[in-house]
DNA sequence: GTACCGTAGATCCTATAGGAAATGCGATTC
DNA sequence: GAATCGCATTTCCTATAGGATCTACGGTAC
């Protein structure tokens, strides 16, 4: 496996646990680690050519994201995929948090933010839409960036933590990874509406447009769930 | 199968990292570990008479709660106390999440839940109100239980995760730990209002009463902040 | 044929040891 | 008197080894 020692700064010494964490995350996102698969500490250590200790630390951190689950004395397993009901619950939770984020972010919004949001939308338009993980990843990254920019611009560390706690954002990636992009045109249009509200400096409108967007995602994801099953 | 050496009853082998985690949590809550204090892995291992490995794992988990912070290659430190502004942000975040929890929980509410909520209020009334940690802890426990019951009864794992992400609930304990209980009478009255809404089966009212409660907590906490400073 | 038991393998958990980096302190030099 | 260099100590990070536990498989008895 190609070594990524080129991290800037010339810091020769890096924390191995961080590399392991990244490697596991990529493996989870790429679907190499399927839902329910046990993640052996020793086995992963052999595979990544490190000792079990950093693997243990990386898994302890991953557990907080919900990507893996730990059973005492029985090791770790990849968390199961979402059921359609859980997906609906995730959208309900997003409906609680993200409109509030949009409202607050809009109050602090400036040129810089709207520019970055616009860039995220452009990237969304440019992203390929095929079903392969590599293709989907670019799309997902632009989508995630749009929402994260808003969450961060709300300037409230606790709301940001709450947003991050919806680790399902990543799970969602896994869910649709094999399905491809099905709602790109809708998402682009809805994101644009949100951006307009930001440019107009209308927090209440931004909140409403975010609600509209997530409601749309919810409905479309439920439809996709039926297709999948 | 006579042998049930697996879970609860078995004293045989508990995971050491869990004990370390608990010990650190108690030390943080009791104020033995003050804000900003570095938490040495080796030192803590010596103090608890274990090897550094389980300490490392416990700290990795604690980091996700926000109680400690990790700086790569420089170890862990106890997270700083909240400033009044941060406390206000925490209350704003609670205002986003907890009213929604109350609304949803009320829709599923039954005899069992209202009984447990009532018990939590009774415990709140009975709790001592002195400034010592031991006294305050009982009060805090009953208060936290009330809110957590509602969060869990919302029956949405993502909203529960978001609630948990406001680890500030614990930080809040630390903040007021040295100050004692100043708003017990208000809190009891407001909790009772919420309970009434649950008993009436009125989700919208429950939402509103939760808003009122947290708004009250926010105002009173800001007043306390001024006293402290 | 079914159920129970013992052994073997794999895995997890903990402890100890060693290498590397950062911090603190003191001596030297300008 | 102030800044810089060098050394020693502390601390963190990783690797390896050993003890304990759980699972799987095969054999035996009913």
DSSP letters of B59-75? HHHHHHHTSEEEETTTE
CA angle B184, B188, B191 (to 5 degrees): 135
Contact present, A147 and A98 (Cβ < 8 Å) = yes
Instruction: Give me the helix-helix angle, B84-108 and B203-228, nearest 10°.
Output: 160
What integer pLDDT is reported at residue A177 of this predicted model? 54
Looking at B6-131, list the stretches that DSSP marks H as alpha helix, in order from N- to C-terminal side. 16-29, 41-48, 52-65, 84-108, 111-126
Q: Cβ of B165 under 8 Å from any chain A Cβ? A: yes
The answer to whether the beta carbons of residues A140 and A100 sit under 8 Å apart is no
Length of chain A counted residue by residue: 229
Which of B158, B160, B218 to substitute to test the interface with A, most A CBs within 10 Å?
Answer: B158
Q: Report if CB B74 to strand C is under 7 Å.
A: yes
**Helix H or strand E encompassing B39:** strand B38-39
pLDDT score recorded for residue B119: 97
Q: Is the pLDDT of residue B77 over 60?
A: yes
Residue in B56, B20, B185 with CA at minimum distance from that of residue B28: B20
Contacts of A159 in chain B (CB under 8 A): 89, 92-93, 96
Return the number of other C-beta atoms located less than 10 Å from residue B178's C-beta: 12
Fold of domain A8-78 = Arc Repressor Mutant, subunit A (1.10.10)
Q: Do domains A8-78 and A84-228 have the same CATH topology?
A: no
Compute the radius of gyration of chain B from its Cα atoms: 19
**Strands across the sheet containing B68-71:** B38-39, B75-78, B68-71
Every domain of chain B and the residues it spans:
16-78, 84-228
Q: How far is the CA of A53 from the C1' of C17 (A)?
A: 15
Cβ–Cβ under 8 Å, residues A13 and A5? no
Q: In the structure, what pLDDT confidence band is assigned to residue B193 with cuts at 50, 70 and 90? A: very high
Interface contacts (A, B; CB < 8 Å): 90
CB distance B114 to B199 below 8 Å: yes
What integer is the mean pLDDT of B14-19?
A: 80
Q: For residues A229 and A159, give the distance between their C-alpha atoms in angstroms, rounded to a whole number.
A: 34
Mutation for A interface: B7, B74, B93, most A CBs within 10 A:
B93
Retrieve residue B101's tokens. 């929890």
A124 vs A145: CA distance, rounded Å: 10
Structure tokens at B133: 């940690």
B159-182, pLDDT tens digit by residue?
998 998 886 565 655 566 555 567
Question: CA torsion sign, B94 to B100 to B102 to B108?
Answer: negative
Q: How far apart are CA B196 and CA B106, in angstroms?
A: 11
Residue B176 to chain A, least CA–CA distance (Å): 19
Distance CA A15, CA B74 (A): 11
Q: What is the pLDDT of residue B12?
A: 38
Comparing B54 with B15, which gets the higher pLDDT? B54
pLDDT greater than 90 at residue B116: yes
> Per mean pLDDT, which range of B103-107, B136-140, B210-214 is the poorest?
B136-140
**Burial of B93: CB neighbours in 10 Å, binned 0-12, 13-18, 19+:** buried
Give residue B138's pLDDT. 83
Q: Which fold has domain A84-228?
A: 1.20.120
Retrieve residue A157's tokens: 């560390």
Nearest residue to B21 (alpha-carbon basis) of A200, A112, A70 = A70
Q: How far is it, in rounded angstroms, from Cα B34 to Cα A71? A: 32
Q: Could you tell me the CA-to-CA distances from A111 to A12, B7, B102 in Å, in that order? A: 38, 57, 37
Give pLDDT < 70 ranges for chain A.
Answer: 1-14, 133, 167-181, 227-229
Dihedral (CA of A26, A64, A146, B101) sign: positive
pLDDT at B220: 86
B64 neighbourhood in chain A, CB within 8 Å:
61, 64
Contact B93 A168 (CB under 8 A): no
Sign of the alpha-carbon dihedral angle for B25, B55, A18, A49: negative
Check if the beta carbon of residue B166 is closer than 8 Å to that of residue B203.
no
What is the CATH topology of the domain spanning B16-78? Arc Repressor Mutant, subunit A (1.10.10)
């Amino acid at each position: 496996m190609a070594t990524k020692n080129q991290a800037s700064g010339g810091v020769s010494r890096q924390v191995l646990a961080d590399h392991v964490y990244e490697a596991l995350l990529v493996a989870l996102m790429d679907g190499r680690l399927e839902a329910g698969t046990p993640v052996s500490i020793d086995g992963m250590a052999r595979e990544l050519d490190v000792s079990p200790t950093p693997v243990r630390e990386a898994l302890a951190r991953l557990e907080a994201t919900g990507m893996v689950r730990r059973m005492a004395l029985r090791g770790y397993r990849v968390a199961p995929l979402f059921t359609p009901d859980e997906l609906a619950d995730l959208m309900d939770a997003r409906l609680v948090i993200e409109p509030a984020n949009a409202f607050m972010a809009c109050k602090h919004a400036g040129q810089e933010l709207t520019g970055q949001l616009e860039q995220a939308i452009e990237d969304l338009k440019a992203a390929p839409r095929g079903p392969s993980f590599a293709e989907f990843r670019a799309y997902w990254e632009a989508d995630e960036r749009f929402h994260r920019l808003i969450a961060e611009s709300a300037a409230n560390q606790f709301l940001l933590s709450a947003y991050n706690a919806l680790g399902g954002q990543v799970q969602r990636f896994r869910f649709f990874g094999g399905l491809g992009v099905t709602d790109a045109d809708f998402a682009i249009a809805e994101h644009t509406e949100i951006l307009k509200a930001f440019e107009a400096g209308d927090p209440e409108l931004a909140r409403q447009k975010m609600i509209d967007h997530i409601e749309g995602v919810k409905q479309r994801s439920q439809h996709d769930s039926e297709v999948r099953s």
